[in-house]
Amino acid sequence: MEIRSTTVAAPEIDADAIVIGVLSDRPLSGSAAQIDAASGGLLKRLVDRQELSAKPYDVTLLHTATGIKAPLVAVVGLGPADKFDRATLFRAASAASRALAAKARSQVAFYLDDLGQAALVEQGVAGAVVGCQGQDLYREKKARFAPTTIHWASNNLAAIETGRVLGEGINLTRRLVNEPPQEVYPESFAARAADVAKQFGLSIDVWDQAKLEAERCGSLLAVAKGSARPPRLVILEHRGGRAGDAPLALVGKGVTFDSGGLSLKPSDGMLTMKCDMAGAATVLGAMQTIARLRLPVNVIGLCGLVENMPSGTAMKLGDVLHARSGRTIEVQNTDAEGRLVLADVLNVALDRKPARIVDLATLTGACVVALGTDVAGLMSNDQPWCDTVARVSRELGEPTWQLPMFADHRLTDYRELINCPIADIRNVGEGRWGGAITAAKFLEEFVGTTPWVHMDIAGPAFFDKPKSWLDGGGSGMFVRTLVELAKGS
């Protein structure tokens, strides 16, 4: 798919469809006013009759409007003017793109009146690239058809290119999450990462079973014991900053399929567990984008890759694992496996002496119970770093909410909930309570004093049903957040 800049007026462009936006509390302006004038006041009449919605992300399709060269006009709602921002434009462009992608079209032009502001152009173009891609990877009859060319009404060529690169990074993450588990497993994910590294100039180191054993990654290896698929650890590096500058570390959980192990999940709970590698997929999508944009920073991405399967060789309840850091862990639930993988990966990240760490994991159902399916949980050992991650994610419309990590005995000490009489810690807390937080307290044991934020993305990483602005399946959420964090690091 090609993305081109255009300066042709909306009524005059020769395209299969055009996209314009309308605010809910402002008169028609910009390209919408041009379309209205050229069509003899059609838009104004529809607005007055409440036949055209300006509600955010609602799309109204108008066919063969008089005076408009394009045979189809997609009008997308932008909501109120005081809430219009990058997040709104990303989703609005994605919603319009998704609606138009229901049929094969060659040329689609977007007129969303971004006034040439780079940050808005980037997010709008990214949304247009993302919205036209679905999860119909293996359907004989496709449900989504990306246009051959998208024309974007802006002369900011650099911002258009950045938006395209960002959208393609998000779509890489989405495709990896949407692929079935017989296609995406530790070895194949590592091979995909190697292809990305070769194509876009990242350095890569892949640790195989022998290397993981030599590095004493006993916690990660224990999760992989039940599977015929050997584990991998992928380490990607983008060296865009000055030599010696401490990097930003991005760490992703990559359980390519999670049966629960001997603590076997029910079928309903297992059905979407191909998405349990979304943290690693998000890191890879972000690293591809960071490399393609040649950001002047140092960033490392680490993906711990395993399958969690039941078998005669699988880890058992009561096993005591020896993590790479030297900590010992009693296994009290084999379905609390993601934290066991991350324990060793975080320790490897510390070897690179990062300035800050973000880890992303579809870690706990408890976080979904607490925050719902659209919001990721944030937990941290460093409040300023957590505030930065929260601000950036929310500005981009990728919502997060901080959960407490109290270490003050006058309040409560969640750390006590993972105390263990046999080993240093156990891999679950006491009972059902505070499950997302006790998982984060477990991870905190492996990051030392380095500023660290844990993002539990179990809810928003995978949409069980479509949104108005995106198909169901892998969402690609937080690729944009990670790239923005890298820009500011």
Q: How far is CA 417 from CA 49, 159, 203, 304, in A?
A: 59, 48, 40, 26
* Residue type at position 101: A
Instruction: Indicate if 339 belongs to the active site.
Output: yes
3-state SS of the chain: helix, strand, coil percent to 5? 40, 20, 40
Residues 188 and 277: beta-carbon distance below 8 Å: no
Nearest in space to 98 (alpha carbons), one of 376, 487, 401, 469: 469
Burial 372-395 (b: 16+ CB within 10 A, else e): eeebbbbbbbbeebbebbbebbee
Distance CA 190, CA 175 (A): 15
Phi-psi label, residue 180: left if phi above 0, alpha if psi -120 to 50, beta otherwise: beta
Q: Please give the distance of CA 251 from its chain centroid, rounded to a whole number.
A: 13
Tell me the two tokens of residue 141: 């009859």
Distance CA 317, CA 162 (A): 48
Catalytic one among 339, 356, 426, 441? 339
Return the sign of the alpha-carbon dihedral for residues 415, 421, 426, 428: negative
Render 306-329 in DSSP notation, one character per residue. EEE--STTS--TT-EEE-TTS-EE
Q: Which helix (H) or strand (E) holds 249?
A: strand 248-258
The residue assigned the tokens 């060319």 is 149
The torsion angles phi and psi of 286, rounded to 5 degrees, stand at: -70, -40
Render 404-456 in DSSP notation, one character per residue. -----TTT--GGGGG--SSSSEESS-STTTTHHHHHHHHHHTTSTTS-EEEEE
Distance CA 11, CA 2 (A): 22
Interacting residues of 190 by C-beta distance below 8 A, sequence separation 6+: 206, 232, 234, 305
Instruction: Indicate if 174 belongs to the active site.
Output: no
Nearest in space to 443 (alpha carbons), one of 329, 337, 340: 340
Render 381-409 in DSSP notation, one character per residue. S-HHHHHHHHHHHHHTT--EEE------T
Catalytic one among 69, 216, 265, 467? 265
End-to-end CA separation in angstroms for the chain: 31
Nearest in space to 55 (alpha carbons), one of 98, 94, 25, 93: 25
Q: How far is CA 293 from CA 35, 120, 242, 338, in A?
A: 35, 17, 16, 31
The residue assigned the tokens 């793109």 is 97
The residues annotated as belonging to the active site are 265, 339
